[in-house]
């Protein structure tokens, strides 16, 4: 492979990170639920620092946090695509949005359970 081709591929690869980061910041600026999840994330990280979580506990908290944020981004993407396809009410469009929101809700509930398992014994 020529060095020019490698350079272009590396440039495209690095450029894809720019798109991803732009999407994350767009959601943080414009999506109410993403803002809520981010505030909760900051609170959880502060608590984790205060209570000196173990490496395993940090791992579970990290999966919980990143899972909720990632699913919220996917939910936002599904909402945008559905809105792009149709502005009119359609039962399938509603179902797509509701199912994506349901995925976020399930993972958020799991994350709260994980947080309770980790933090409640430390607090009481």
21: pLDDT strictly greater than 70: yes
| Helix (H/G/I), strand (E/B), else coil: 58 | helix
The pLDDT of residue 6 = 67
- Residues spanned by the domain of 1: 1-30
Active site residue: 57, 72, 79, 88, which one? 72
CA dihedral 17, 23, 28, 32 (to 10 degrees): -150
Concerning whether 31 is annotated as a catalytic residue, the answer is no
- Quick check: 115 and 44 in contact, CB under 8 A? yes
CATH number of the structural domain spanning residue 75: 1.10.287.3610
Number of domains in the chain: 2
Residues 100 and 76 in one domain: yes
Beta carbons within 8 Å of 95's beta carbon, 6+ residues apart: none
Residues 20 and 49 in one domain: no
d(CA 47, CA 49) in angstroms, rounded, equals: 5
The pLDDT of residue 87 = 86
Mean pLDDT of 14-29: 94
CA dihedral 101, 105, 108, 109 (to 10 degrees): -170
Residues 38 and 86 in one domain: yes
The pLDDT of residue 15 = 86
Residues 3 and 46 in one domain: no
Residues 3 and 61 in one domain: no
d(CA 59, CA 93) in angstroms, rounded, equals: 36
Segment 38-74, tens digit of pLDDT = 999 999 999 999 999 999 999 999 999 999 999 999 9
Segment 81-119, tens digit of pLDDT = 999 999 899 999 999 999 999 999 999 999 999 999 999
Mean pLDDT of 10-22: 87
């Amino acid at each position: 492979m020529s060095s020019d081709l490698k350079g272009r591929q590396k440039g495209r690869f690095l450029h894809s990170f720019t798109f991803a980061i732009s999407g994350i910041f767009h959601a943080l600026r414009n999506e109410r639920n993403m803002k809520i999840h981010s505030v909760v994330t900051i609170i959880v990280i502060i608590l984790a620092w205060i209570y000196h979580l173990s490496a395993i506990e940090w791992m579970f908290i990290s999966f919980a946090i990143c899972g909720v944020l990632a699913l919220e981004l996917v939910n936002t993407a599904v909402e945008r695509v559905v809105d792009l396809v149709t502005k009119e009410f359609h039962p399938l469009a509603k179902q797509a949005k509701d199912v994506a929101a349901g995925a976020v809700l399930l993972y958020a509930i799991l994350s709260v359970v994980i947080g309770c398992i980790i933090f409640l014994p430390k607090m009481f």
